[in-house]
Structure 1
Amino acid sequence: MATDSPIRFNLRQLGVFRSVAESGGIRAAARRLGLTQPAVTHAVRELEQGLGVDLFVRSAKGVRLTAPGEALLLRTQRILHEAQSAQAELEQMGGGLGGRLRIALSAAASSVLPQALSDFRAQRPDVVLELREMTWPTRLDGWREGEYDFAVLAQADVPHVPHQDALERELLFAIPAVLAVRTGHPLAGARSIAELAQALWLAPGYGMEVLDLLFAQCQTPPPRDIIYCHSVSIALSLLRATDAVGVVSSRLFLDAGASRGLVALAVAEPLPAARVCVVIRDRQALTPAARLFIDCLHQAAKAL
């Protein structure tokens, strides 16, 4: 009968290993960790001996990861982040203060973030918050390693398109999409998607599904000239300065400043909405602070 293998390393060794991998050398890692070079070398050697593999190729120029080293580094990031989350959760459960909450956000979260942040701060002013803009987890360094507690992202509400990942989603709200062009655009009077087939398009990260659905409605091949833009500010600048057609949130036109110089096209075809969701990599790993912030987001969404 198979038994679990004993663990042949500890968190300290993994922390030293990560520092050496990220610094590119023993000396740089020692300075970073405040340790002596022999201490760093010893920790790495112990780890290699315990695992039975070489983690680094050593040379006069420094070190580089072997294939086993690269595999271990990916898992090391996860292990250390999970250990930090576990410590934070236990401290919070024990009535301790502090902790850190890392959240990845797309621009769509701006509709609920201020209220959710205010409500969260009223209950947990001690938690350090780290917010980072993103469009989708696979495009963000640190997501796979568990660096972020959760994300708030927009995704096209396209029927019959299953999710190709193992991420959990909690719907906050849906935003109708509109097509926007600059004032004076030669296609500003377009009334059908088919009239826009030859235009330059600006689409969000999930835009391929949106464009496929739009042009399928009028039995027209989707456009070939597409720019996928993952920054709202850059997309708006390009829309104002070019003849591109952009897929944007209808909420844009509730803000006179943000929609300055742009007009919405009155096309006949309905556009799919964007579903703004909380995206969770591992629900069991959520700390009490993370769960509270998610609750605050849901409450803020109900008020929209």
Structure 2
Amino acid sequence: MRFELTDLRVFVAIAEAGSLTMGASDMHLTAPSASYRLKNLEQTVGVPLFNRTQKGMVLTAAGETMLQHARTILDNVEQLQIGMRRHTDGIEGHIRVYANSSTMCNLPVALSRFLAAYPNVNVDLEEHLSADSVRAVQEQRADIGLVAGAIDLHGLDSILYGADELLFVVPPRHPLGMRDSVSLVQALRHELVSIGSKSSNFLYLQDMATRAGIVPHVRVHAPNFPAVIRCVQEGAGIALVPRSVAAPAIAQGLVEGVVLDEPWAMREQRVVARSLQRLPDYTRAFIRFLTESSESLPDTVLR
């Protein structure tokens, strides 16, 4: 079977209007022209698509099936046109980035600078656990992953671009604030404030707590890190956050920082890809912007 797109559009218009005349008008056609196109389509499929009644055009069972598929075909054609228009308008491509919450903290500067420098490239950014980001790159669901911590990279190329430390923030004059450092077990004896329950930050903490045989007592899941810091400041609990997130509030005396005495608290931040050298130029440029904007490793640049 071969279908004319115009015939499909006329058919859908008539079906949605429930009238040949109104459907034709919606398509800016005369009623005879629309009727001719509908007959062509019915001849192509070999069955009637409408019952003509006094109340208008009523789809047959075959017509219902045809309507479902016609809409899908026309939607796909529209998406194809949109996708191709991006190329004709000068869009070079897009970058699919998976990142954990710790690495996302330092992204805004690099991302905004990159988008300003490359107006014809779009970036799709999603938050995931580091292990999930590695898996997505392996399975080509992501072009690059931004990961943190000691995880198995499964043979992916990687470049070190930063480092961050997880630490606990506590309200001023909190008992833990008198300590130089604290273990996870000691910290989780206190009530907790956390970022969202589906965030990579909380899922990582939950995993570490499970390994230590502890169930965290979370009082509230705040929507973002600034909200977490504010809740801690007001005395709602303590929170585990990246030092880069906590530093401004600690410097202002709004909260106190307590070093987490665990080997996994200090975490390298890496960009991972199936092959760094085979990435498109604009993706390599994005990585350069990322490494150049890193406060922890300012001289690390992908060449």
Question: TM-score, length-normalised on structure 2?
Answer: 0.51
Structure-to-structure mapping, 1:265-276, within 5 angstroms: 265=258, 272-276=265-269
Q: Detail structure 1 runs of 4+ shifted over 6 Å in the superposition.
A: 139-144, 257-260, 267-271
Other-structure match for 1:183: 172
Q: CA deviation at 1:174?
A: 0.6
Structure 2 CA distance, aligned partners of 1:234 and 1:140?
29
Structure 1 CA distance, aligned partners of 2:92 and 2:111?
19
Q: 2:293 aligns with which of 280, 283, 300?
A: 300
1:207 match: secondary structure: helix
Structure 2 CA distance, aligned partners of 1:31 and 1:263?
58
Structure-to-structure mapping, 1:1-304, within 5 angstroms: 27-28=67-68, 30-34=70-74, 98-107=92-101, 108-111=103-106, 113-115=108-110, 117-119=112-114, 121-122=116-117, 124-136=118-130, 138=132, 146-153=140-147, 155-157=148-150, 163=152, 165=154, 167-191=156-180, 192-193=182-183, 195-201=186-192, 202=194, 204-207=202-205, 223-225=214-216, 232-233=225-226, 235-236=228-229, 239-240=232-233, 244-256=237-249, 261-265=254-258, 272-281=265-274, 283=276, 286-301=279-294, 302-303=297-298
Q: Which runs of 5+ in 2 are unaligned?
A: 1-64, 77-82, 195-200
Q: Which amino acid aligns with 2:298?
A: A
Contact 2:115 2:122 in 1 (8 A): no
Q: CA deviation at 1:134?
A: 3.6
Structure 2 CA distance, aligned partners of 1:284 and 1:266?
38
Structure 2 CA distance, aligned partners of 1:259 and 1:290?
37
Question: TM-score, length-normalised on structure 1?
Answer: 0.51
Contact 1:97 1:126 in 2 (8 A): yes
Q: Which amino acid aligns with 1:131?
A: L
Point out which structure has higher relative CO (alpha carbons under 8 A, 6+ apart): 1
* CA-to-aligned-CA distance 1:230-288 (integer Å, 9 cap, x gap): 95356446545665432222222332499884321267778731222213256576322
Structure 1 CA distance, aligned partners of 2:152 and 2:135?
21
Other-structure match for 2:32: none
Q: Which runs of 5+ in 1 are unaligned?
A: 1-24, 37-83, 214-220
Contact 1:152 1:278 in 2 (8 A): yes
1:34 match: secondary structure: helix
Q: Which amino acid aligns with 2:214?
A: P
**Quick check: which has more Rg, 1 or 2?**
2
RMSD: 4.7
Other-structure match for 1:72: none
Structure 2 CA distance, aligned partners of 1:97 and 1:287?
13
